[in-house]
């Protein structure tokens, strides 16, 4: 049976809830409709999140994204809605969604929205570029 769009987001248990780690996804085929003209808007979505107890299941995410294809939405509204729905489903420690819309009328648009759980702070970054590539000669 063929798949069809869905507004439902499935999740699964985080296999390493004791650790902060980043999940990065690129979704290059996002489409919605301009609410004023009805013409299609195309975007690549960039999703980054630090899960807590739940991770989003990829097929359900694909079907969820597909559900916007025939919906009219301003870029800012659809980006915020997708982030809100993903946060509600997964309850992450941190989540960022950047929607990079392709040119329309000579203008590229990128909308970025974030969620940060109250009190969560990322661990300090480790700069591996400053480490020697090999041991110094003795």
Could you tell me the domains of the chain? 21-117 (3.30.1130.10)
Q: Please give the Cα distance from 64 to 34 (Å, whole number).
A: 19
User: Which of the residues 20, 32, 41, 85 is marked catalytic?
Assistant: 41
pLDDT band at 115 (very low <50, low <70, confident <90, very high): very high
Question: Is residue 117 pLDDT above 70, yes or no?
Answer: yes
Task: Give the angle 71-55-26 at the CA atoms, nearest 5°.
Answer: 55
Do 95 and 61 contact (CB within 8 A), yes or no?
Answer: no
Tally Cβ neighbours within 10 Å of residue 138: 3
Name the residue with higher pLDDT: 11 or 124: 11
Establish whether 48 is a catalytic residue: no
The pair of three-digit structure tokens given for residue 68, joined into one six-digit string: 């916007």
The owner of tokens 């808007």 is 41
pLDDT band at 86 (very low <50, low <70, confident <90, very high): very high
User: Which of the residues 34, 48, 52, 84 is marked catalytic?
Assistant: 34
DSSP string of 66-87, one letter each residue? HTTTT-B--HHHHHHHHHHHHH
Mean pLDDT, residues 81-110 taken together: 95
Residue 58: the pLDDT is 97
The owner of tokens 């110094």 is 136
Mean pLDDT, residues 17-43 taken together: 95
Establish whether 41 is a catalytic residue: yes
Single pTM value for the model: 0.87
Q: Please give the Cα distance from 100 to 107 (Å, whole number).
A: 11
């Amino acid at each position: 049976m063929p798949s069809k769009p869905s507004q439902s987001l499935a999740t699964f248990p985080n296999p390493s809830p004791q650790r902060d780690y980043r999940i990065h996804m690129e979704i290059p085929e996002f489409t919605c409709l301009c609410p004023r003209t009805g013409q299609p808007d195309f975007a690549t979505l960039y999703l980054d999140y630090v899960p807590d107890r739940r991770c989003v299941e990829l097929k359900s995410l694909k079907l969820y994204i597909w559900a916007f294809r025939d919906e009219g939405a301003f870029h800012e509204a659809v980006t915020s809605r997708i982030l809100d729905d993903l946060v509600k489903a997964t309850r992450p420690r941190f989540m960022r969604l950047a929607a990079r819309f392709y040119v329309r009328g000579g203008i590229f648009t990128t909308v970025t929205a974030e969620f940060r759980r109250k009190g969560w702070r990322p661990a300090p970054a480790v700069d591996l570029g400053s480490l020697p590539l090999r041991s110094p000669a003795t």
